[in-house]
Amino acid sequence: MWEPEMVLEPDSGAWVRFWKVVEDAGVWRWEKNYENPEILDGTQWFLKLKYQSRGIKSSGSNAFPGCQEPDFSEECEFGQFIKGLRELTGEAEIG
């Protein structure tokens, strides 16, 4: 089901914290694709991110950067990023 687009306007401090999370999670070094072919149904994700002169497109199917399993804890690069995105947007249900 398609959900309507939401427009969020984080303050400058929130953006500064978010871009630090992006750096700390190593997002700019993520691979183009992460896959776990042993799982037939699960979680698919896609990220397209651009900041200043940097950009990345990365995606996955049941595999995540820095995680062996769908781990959204701070020990996992993907989990760090999701936490930062939640804090930026104020949305608890991202990921």
Sign of the C-alpha dihedral computed for residues 74, 77, 80 and 86 taken in this order: negative
> Can you name the residues that pair with 19 across neighbouring β-strands?
none
Residue 21 DSSP one-character state: H
d(CA 55, CA 43): 23
Q: How confident is the model at residue 91 (pLDDT cuts 50, 70, 90)?
A: confident
Lowest mean pLDDT among 10-19, 51-60, 65-74, 80-89: 65-74
**Whether the predicted model's global pTM rises above the 0.85 cut:** no
Summarised one tens digit per residue, pLDDT across range 40-69 is 788 889 999 999 999 999 999 989 998 866
